[in-house]
A and B are shown apart, each in its own frame.
Chain A
Amino acid sequence: MKDMTTSGPMIEFRKDLFADERDDNLNEIGKPTRRQDILGHVTGRSPFFDDHLFDGLLHLRCTRSPHHHARIRRIDTSAADRMPGVVRVLTGKDVPTNLNTLLSLLDFGLDDEPILTDTKVAYMGEPVAAVIAETEAQARAAAAAVVVEWDVLPHVLDVEEAIKPGAPAVLDIYPNNLFVYHGKYDHQKLRFGDADRALAEADHIVEGRYQMSPIEQAPIETCGAIAAPEQNDRFVCYTSTQALFFSLGTAAKVLNIPSSRLHFIGGTVGGGFGGKVDSIHEPLAILGAMLTGRPVKYAWDRAEEMQVGAPRGAERWYVTDGVMNDGRIVARKFTGYFDAGAYTRLSSYAIIKGVGHLPGPYTIPNVSANVYCVYTNRTPATAMRGFGITGVDFAIEAHMDKVAETVGMNPIELRILNAYRDGDMKAHRREAKNCALIECAQVVAEKAGVTLSPELKAATSVTGGGGARGALPAHTATDEDGQVEGFQATSYANTSGASSAPQPSPTTSAPAPQPITSAPAPRPATPPAPPTSTPTPSPTPPAAADKKPARSGAMRFSSLSGFRRR
Chain B
Amino acid sequence: MTTLETYPTMEDAARAMGADATFLGGGTVVMRAVNEGVATPRLIRVTDPGLAHISTVGEILRLGASVTMADVLAHRDLAFLHPVARQIGGPQVRNMATVAGNLFAEHPYGDFATALLALGAQVTVTGQGGARSVDEVLRDRDRAGLVSAVEIPRPRDVRSFGFRKVSRVKPKGVSVLCIAAYLPRESGRIRGARVAFGAMGPTPLRSSGAERALEGQMLDTATAEGAAAAATEGLSPATDQIATEWYRREVAGVHLKRLLTEMERG
* Cα–Cα, bound, A314→B1 (Å): 40
Interface string of A82-125 (1 = CB under 8 A from B): 00100000000000000000000000000000000000000000
Cβ of A68 to closest chain B Cβ, rounded Å: 18
- Chain B, range 29-74, C-beta contacts under 8 Å to A: 35-37
A-B contacts, 8 of them at CB < 8 A, read A84-B1, A137-B1, A137-B37, A140-B36, A140-B37, A141-B37, A301-B35, A301-B36
SS of B interface (majority) = loop
Chain B residue nearest to A137 (CB atoms) is B37
- Give the size of the chain A interface in residues (CB under 8 angstroms): 7
SS of A interface (majority) = helix
- Chain B, range 198-230, C-beta contacts under 8 Å to A: none
Cβ of A261 to closest chain B Cβ, rounded Å: 34
* Cα–Cα, bound, A141→B35 (Å): 11
Q: Which 3 A-B pairs have the closest CB atoms?
A: A140-B37, A137-B37, A141-B37
Interface footprint category on B: under 10
* Cα–Cα, bound, A137→B37 (Å): 6
Q: CB-CB < 8 A to B36: which residues of A?
A: 140, 301, 303
Binding site for B on A (CB under 8 A): 84, 137, 140-141, 144, 301, 303
Chain B residue nearest to A85 (CB atoms) is B1
Q: CB-CB < 8 A to B1: which residues of A?
A: 84, 137
Chain B residue nearest to A84 (CB atoms) is B1
Cβ of A451 to closest chain B Cβ, rounded Å: 37
Cβ of B23 to closest chain A Cβ, rounded Å: 21
Q: CB-CB < 8 A to A141: which residues of B?
A: 37
Q: CB-CB < 8 A to A144: which residues of B?
A: 37
* Cα–Cα, bound, A141→B36 (Å): 10
Cβ of A237 to closest chain B Cβ, rounded Å: 26
* Cα–Cα, bound, A301→B37 (Å): 12
Cβ of A145 to closest chain B Cβ, rounded Å: 11
**Known pairs A137-B37, A144-B37, A301-B36. 7 more at Cβ < 8 A?**
A84-B1, A137-B1, A140-B36, A140-B37, A141-B37, A301-B35, A303-B36
* Cα–Cα, bound, A144→B37 (Å): 10
Chain A residue nearest to B1 (CB atoms) is A137
Cβ of B41 to closest chain A Cβ, rounded Å: 12
* Cα–Cα, bound, A137→B35 (Å): 8
Q: CB-CB < 8 A to A137: which residues of B?
A: 1, 37
Q: CB-CB < 8 A to B37: which residues of A?
A: 137, 140-141, 144
Chain A residue nearest to B35 (CB atoms) is A301
Most chain B CB atoms below 10 A, which of A84, A137, A141, A303: A137
Chain B residue nearest to A144 (CB atoms) is B37
Chain A residue nearest to B2 (CB atoms) is A137
Cβ of B229 to closest chain A Cβ, rounded Å: 35
Chain A residue nearest to B34 (CB atoms) is A137
Cβ of B151 to closest chain A Cβ, rounded Å: 38
Q: CB-CB < 8 A to A303: which residues of B?
A: 36
Q: CB-CB < 8 A to B35: which residues of A?
A: 301
* Cα–Cα, bound, A84→B37 (Å): 14
Chain B residue nearest to A303 (CB atoms) is B36
Chain B residue nearest to A140 (CB atoms) is B37
Cβ of B117 to closest chain A Cβ, rounded Å: 31
* Cα–Cα, bound, A137→B38 (Å): 10
Q: CB-CB < 8 A to A301: which residues of B?
A: 35-36
* Cα–Cα, bound, A140→B33 (Å): 13
Q: CB-CB < 8 A to A84: which residues of B?
A: 1
* Cα–Cα, bound, A84→B1 (Å): 10
Cβ of A65 to closest chain B Cβ, rounded Å: 18
Cβ of B186 to closest chain A Cβ, rounded Å: 52
Most chain A CB atoms below 10 A, which of B1, B36, B37: B37
* Cα–Cα, bound, A301→B35 (Å): 10
Cβ of A474 to closest chain B Cβ, rounded Å: 54
Interface string of B1-12 (1 = CB under 8 A from A): 100000000000
Cβ of A299 to closest chain B Cβ, rounded Å: 13
Cβ of A394 to closest chain B Cβ, rounded Å: 21
* Cα–Cα, bound, A144→B36 (Å): 12
Cβ of B3 to closest chain A Cβ, rounded Å: 12
Cβ of A421 to closest chain B Cβ, rounded Å: 43
Chain B residue nearest to A141 (CB atoms) is B37
* Cα–Cα, bound, A73→B1 (Å): 31
Cβ of B32 to closest chain A Cβ, rounded Å: 10
Cβ of A213 to closest chain B Cβ, rounded Å: 13
Cβ of A203 to closest chain B Cβ, rounded Å: 42
* Cα–Cα, bound, A137→B36 (Å): 8
* Cα–Cα, bound, A141→B1 (Å): 9
* Cα–Cα, bound, A301→B36 (Å): 9
* Cα–Cα, bound, A303→B35 (Å): 12
Cβ of A146 to closest chain B Cβ, rounded Å: 14
* Cα–Cα, bound, A303→B36 (Å): 10
Cβ of B28 to closest chain A Cβ, rounded Å: 15
* Cα–Cα, bound, A190→B192 (Å): 71
* Cα–Cα, bound, A420→B202 (Å): 57
* Cα–Cα, bound, A144→B38 (Å): 11
- Chain B, range 5-24, C-beta contacts under 8 Å to A: none
